[in-house]
Structure 1
Amino acid sequence: MIAPETLSAVQQRFPSVPGYLSACTSGLPAHSTTAAMRSFIDEWSTGRMDAHSISAQVEECRALFASLVGVAAERVAVGTQASQFASVVATAVPDNGEVLCVTGDFASLTHPFELEQHRGVTVRYVALEALAAEVRPETSLVAWSHVQSASGAVSDAAAICAAAAAVGALTCVDLTQAVGWLPVAAGDFDITICHAYKWLCAPRGSAFMTVRAGLDDALRPVAAGWYSADDPWSSCYAGHTPLAAGAGRFDLSPAWPVIAGTVAALETFAAIAAIDPALAHTHALDLANATREGLGYTAGDSAIVTWRDADGADLAAMTRAGIVASGRAGNARVSFHLWNTPDDVAQLMTALGR
């Protein structure tokens, strides 16, 4: 049980937007994130932007994300898009290797592997619930989203990792729909990828990858640039471009306007985790299961609730009622995060005529 005063204090960090049920599309910025973004614009517009200070903030992002997912900071790469990191992971698949993926998974994760067909790489798709059982000796890499975008289904990560380890396959899990509400340990996987603009409520343009120690040389930094060194400011020009000793070699040049906001977002979630590491998970799941009960479904384990809505009628009804939701793959989709309240569930039930 979450103490009401604790939950209230956490919710006050975010704007009140009744009916916003779309963290799985884009998180709401905490007040500190909005202030940081505005401060950057003010500094930029008055000629006071300091690129070296932004580099220091990138290191803050690296350390904060590392603490949230339980790995050392040197195991974290900082970039801008999940697909760019997936393209790096694709280089670890040997010629003629097999990548095992989930049917209907998000394209930013799967598409980079499909583009390795010129090397004989095969991408095989199976249902999420069959993923562990479908790992076979010729599987080189298992790549999947821990929480599925279209359905909200949560994977049995332990079983998948065990099956992959049994045949010597690498594991790459996309945590974009997980980190921020679902406790996760990145060290359980060989590689993780996470864009921070959803459940971590950062501005779009900040993404992270974790790489298990000992795997750095198995991946090729296909987008290596001036930021791929331990000290980017000393490797700006040809003739001295060393790769960073750790996962920083996979860094991408940061999108300066979003870094301050990302620091503020990650600081917010670090502070909430210090109060209660399970708070976001408990709160989101309580509201999601209240919604499932209202829809006549059994309780589930995901903060994302989906149901069939092939003609979009339910999504249209929610929109007319002022609810921000989404439709994916023929499903209506809502999600619950820290700012949501039981009033949001009641508004949703009314909109759907339940």
Structure 2
Amino acid sequence: MTDSTRSSWSPALVEATRSFAPRTGYLAACTMGLPMLATLEAQRLDLESWRTGGTSPIEYGAVVEEARVAYAALVAVPASRVAIGSQTSAMVAVVAAAVPDGAEVLCVDGDFSSMVFPFLQQRHRGVRVRSVPLAELASSVSAATWLVAWSAIQSATGAVADDRAIVAAAGRHGALTLCDTTQAAGVLPIDAGRYDLTVCHGYKWLCSPRGAAFLTVSESAAPRLRPVQAGWYAGESVWGSCYGPTMELASDARAFDVSPAWPAWVGALPALRALASLDTAEVWRRASGLGDLLCDRLDLPRQGQAIVTWVDPGADLVSLAAAGLTASGRAGRVRIAFHLWNDEEDVEAVVRALRA
């Protein structure tokens, strides 16, 4: 990484790097992100307000809508195309329920289970799930493919999908696209409008509490789905939808909303606003630049990724933990993930730990 000093980055990015607790030795954004100081303060105030009876569902609802708008700006779609949820697998399950009997869903070998298991649960209807290596995903789309489902960045390896080729192949064959951006949004530029559907949980790179997640639904894809999880929060009028039997769902993506876990959204809002204000391309250059710097220092081929991985029988992960560094291991690999709170000192700390 050539521009490795703080002075090389925009003032907004530098300020964002100061929004976290300093020198944590935390290198696992791909497992769970760290909270911004503003998130901690917002949640502290919310807990105090709850303690004294000062909270209300209506005020929480306003927070959720602000978070929806901030996330929409981050992924470059109108807020009307964003639904809120709590878990990616539950949102993928809505898509899985819409797959026609006997249709094919094309997935990636080794992708995160939330992008695979919901479709496997539809096999009783004849739904066929075919998995191929990530590099072969675009070339494997066929006329029989109803949906292509993949993660923008692979959880186990940090590999970045060739989204342009995948989307183009799906378009040629009339297949829907579902992209999981959980390992990408907040660190890699995402234009959710390029896909029919995206899912994203905020507790990793979006630095939000667990329980704040998103589904984006294009106008063309919405009529092909059924909001099978619809509840009061999916109503055109939320507060007019508390009781049956009459049901009038929202006319936009809110029809796919689920009732929010309120405290999670209080913490998510400051982080989403901060991340939406940044140049995500710059965030990616910084994070992937730290990854390449680590590869250089460890004599590994550059990976061009924010998540650097290598095969490890277990000794390297133990060495990192012994040095007080928090990394993660998946599928027999060490994962070192760089985000806003990391810098070159973290790279050197990894090198020292492994060479010790």
TM class, shorter-length: over 0.9
Check whether the contact 1:14–1:28 (CA below 8 A) recurs between aligned residues. Answer: yes
> What is the percent sequence identity of the aligned residues?
48
Distance in 1 between the 2:9 and 2:105 partners?
A: 46
Matches within 5 A, 1:77-156: 77-156=83-162
Aligned: 1:304 with 2:337? no
Aligned: 1:349 with 2:351? yes
Distance in 1 between the 2:281 and 2:152 partners?
A: 18
**Paired letter, 2:346:** D
Shift of 1:131: 0.4
Write the deviation string for residues 168-212 of structure 1: whole angstroms up to 9, x where unpaired: 110000000000110010011110000011001000000001011
The correspondence for 1:259, drawn from 260, 265, 268, is 265
Q: Which residue of 2 aligns with 1:57?
A: 63
Distance in 1 between the 2:275 and 2:188 partners?
A: 12
Check whether the contact 1:204–1:258 (CA below 8 A) recurs between aligned residues. Answer: yes
Distance in 2 between the 1:136 and 1:145 partners?
A: 19
85-94 or 197-206, which moves further after superposition?
Answer: 85-94
Q: Report the TM-score, using the length of structure 1 for normalisation.
A: 0.96
Matches within 5 A, 1:1-354: 1=3, 3=8, 6=11, 7-271=13-277, 273=278, 276-310=279-313, 312-353=314-355
Distance in 1 between the 2:290 and 2:24 partners?
A: 14
Extract structure 1 runs of 4+ deviating beyond 6 A: none
Write the deviation string for residues 288-310 of structure 1: whole angstroms up to 9, x where unpaired: 10111122122222100010013
Instruction: Mark the runs of 5 or more structure 1 residues left unpaired by the alignment.
Output: none
Distance in 2 between the 1:174 and 1:245 partners?
A: 24
Distance in 1 between the 2:97 and 2:301 partners?
A: 42
Distance in 1 between the 2:78 and 2:213 partners?
A: 17
Distance in 2 between the 1:277 and 1:321 partners?
A: 31
Shift of 1:241: 2.5
Check whether the contact 1:18–1:344 (CA below 8 A) recurs between aligned residues. Answer: no
Q: Secondary structure of the residue that 1:293 maps to in structure 2?
A: helix
Distance in 2 between the 1:334 and 1:53 partners?
A: 39
Write the deviation string for residues 127-182 of structure 1: whole angstroms up to 9, x where unpaired: 00000111111111000001000000000001011111111110000000000110
Shift of 1:240: 3.2
Check whether the contact 1:98–1:123 (CA below 8 A) recurs between aligned residues. Answer: yes
Distance in 1 between the 2:114 and 2:228 partners?
A: 16
Write the deviation string for residues 81-136 of structure 1: whole angstroms up to 9, x where unpaired: 00011001112311100100001100111100000011100111100000011111
315-324 or 225-234, which moves further after superposition?
Answer: 225-234
Check whether the contact 1:230–1:243 (CA below 8 A) recurs between aligned residues. Answer: yes
Distance in 1 between the 2:276 and 2:212 partners?
A: 17
Distance in 1 between the 2:282 and 2:69 partners?
A: 22
119-128 or 234-243, which moves further after superposition?
Answer: 234-243
Check whether the contact 2:188–2:280 (CA below 8 A) recurs between aligned residues. Answer: no
Check whether the contact 1:10–1:338 (CA below 8 A) recurs between aligned residues. Answer: yes
Check whether the contact 1:206–1:262 (CA below 8 A) recurs between aligned residues. Answer: yes
Q: Secondary structure of the residue that 2:355 maps to in structure 1?
A: coil
Instruction: Mark the runs of 5 or more structure 2 residues left unpaired by the alignment.
Output: none
Distance in 1 between the 2:173 and 2:59 partners?
A: 45
Distance in 1 between the 2:142 and 2:281 partners?
A: 35
Distance in 1 between the 2:246 and 2:49 partners?
A: 31
